[in-house]
């Protein structure tokens, strides 16, 4: 369990989480950074056998956030033979680094395809910012996967840098991920994160999908509340962090398509999610989009686990080369 620090029972070859790059196959430019100075040292909090691979939970001192951060990773058995493609899995409001791994059943399909899964926490924790724990949809558990520019949030709420610089580097150096084959998916706030980070960092992420994403945060209460505090009161300043507004000014950033699943019994759909705005933006941008609307499914993980197999296969196909 991620919340219980325990003595790791890692195999001998994995007890040190640094300096094993040479055994994990080829490493790219980012691998060089991971070897210097021990800045990316990881503390193994828990490890479990899972579909012939390893499910691990880590804590580390995050330079991007300035606080300890936790993340989880599923390493498939294929990593014993060399670097493997990586899929970042971003969870929604109130979730932790544990939620997706425990509830989505993604490991079963990631093991089949040889994909490594990385699930970060959903915000910094314990930043000491007044009000950070007051609301379930803002502050702790609600980092929105962006770098805040407004004080006091900008002191720690830097989830975009954390994921795109720090965690990606760790995944491809200390861990056996391939920096050239990285995809991103997410749920709700994490779906927003996936659609936005993929568009903001097209060189990093080669595939993108989402479950019930907050697809037009400028238009919904969750997004307005978070963006207003993290990015400032002027909605003009939010355009670069809104999946639909980014797509409106793009031209087919993902020629191999984007996959979104949305439950039609989702209680947040009408007020918070706005997939139709992203759909319209994709049409304008000539971006292929598969947006599947499913009667009878709500916002939760029973919905996600129903369709996770398709998302893992979608990413595996695009990350294979
Ligand atoms: N405010 C409610 C709703 C939060 C919620 O639905 N969070 C979604 C993401 S937006 C989630 O994935 N929750 C975790 C779960 O369903 O296990 C709560 O605190 O439970």
Asked if residues 314 and 85 have their Cβ atoms less than 8 Å apart, the reply is no
Whether 188 sits among the annotated catalytic residues: the reply is yes
301 Cα to the center of ligand 1, angstroms: 9
Residues 28-53 have a mean pLDDT of: 71
Nearest alpha-carbon partner for 168 in 110, 113, 118, 101: 118
Tell me the pTM.
Answer: 0.90
Nearest alpha-carbon partner for 115 in 173, 67, 65, 74: 74
The dihedral sign for the CA sequence 280, 283, 289, 290: positive
pLDDT band at 38 (very low <50, low <70, confident <90, very high): confident
ipTM of the complex: 0.94
pLDDT band at 40 (very low <50, low <70, confident <90, very high): confident
Ligand 1 atom 7: residue of nearest CA: 93
Give the model confidence (pLDDT) of 61-87 as tens digits: 999 999 999 999 999 999 999 999 999
Least confident of 19-23, 63-67, 259-263: 19-23
Q: What are phi and psi of 30, to 5 degrees?
A: -65, -25
What confidence score (pLDDT) does residue 12 get? 30
Domains recognised in the chain with CATH numbers: 43-319 (3.40.50.1820)
What confidence score (pLDDT) does residue 29 get? 31
Check whether 17 has a pLDDT greater than 90: no
| Annotated catalytic residue within 187, 274, 299, 311 | 299
Burial class for 190, CB neighbours closer than 10 Å (0-12, 13-18, 19+): buried
What confidence score (pLDDT) does residue 308 get? 98
Check whether 37 has a pLDDT greater than 60: no
Report how far residue 198's alpha carbon sits from residue 251's, in angstroms, rounded to the nearest whole number.
14
182 has which bridge partners? Answer: 86
Residues 97-124 have a mean pLDDT of: 98
Check whether 90 has a pLDDT greater than 80: yes
The residue whose two tokens read 């520019």 is: 149
Report how far residue 295's alpha carbon sits from residue 289's, in angstroms, rounded to the nearest whole number.
19
| Annotated catalytic residue within 62, 188, 218, 244 | 188
């Amino acid at each position: 369990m991620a919340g219980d620090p325990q003595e790791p029972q890692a195999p001998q070859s994995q007890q040190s989480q640094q300096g094993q790059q040479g055994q994990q196959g080829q490493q790219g430019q980012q691998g060089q950074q991971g070897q210097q100075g021990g800045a990316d040292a990881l503390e193994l909090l828990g490890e479990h056998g899972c579909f012939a691979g390893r499910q691990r939970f880590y804590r580390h001192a995050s330079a991007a956030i300035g606080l300890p951060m936790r993340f989880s990773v599923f390493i498939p058995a294929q990593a014993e033979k060399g670097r493997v493609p990586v899929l970042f899995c971003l969870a929604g409001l109130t979730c932790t680094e544990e939620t997706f791994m425990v509830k989505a059943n993604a490991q079963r399909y990631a093991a089949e395809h040889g994909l490594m899964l990385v699930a970060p926490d959903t915000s910094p924790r314990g930043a000491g910012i007044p009000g950070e724990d007051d609301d379930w949809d803002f502050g702790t558990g609600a980092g929105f996967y962006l770098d805040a520019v407004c004080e006091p949030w900008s002191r720690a709420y830097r989830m975009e840098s954390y994921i795109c610089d720090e965690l990606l580097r760790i995944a491809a150096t200390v861990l056996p991920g391939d920096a050239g084959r990285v995809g991103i998916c997410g749920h709700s706030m994490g779906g927003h994160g996936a659609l936005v980070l993929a568009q903001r960092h097209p060189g990093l992420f080669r595939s993108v999908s989402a479950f019930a994403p907050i697809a037009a945060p400028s238009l919904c209460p969750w997004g307005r509340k978070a963006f207003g505090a993290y990015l400032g009161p002027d909605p003009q300043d939010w355009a670069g962090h809104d999946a639909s507004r980014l797509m409106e000014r793009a031209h087919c950033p993902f020629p191999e398509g984007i996959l979104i699943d949305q439950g039609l019994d989702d209680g947040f759909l009408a007020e918070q999610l706005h997939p139709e705005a992203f759909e319209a933006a994709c049409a304008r941008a000539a971006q292929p989009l598969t947006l599947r609307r499913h009667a009878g499914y709500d916002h939760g993980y029973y919905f996600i686990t129903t369709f996770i197999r398709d998302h893992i296969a979608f990413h595996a196909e695009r990350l294979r080369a």
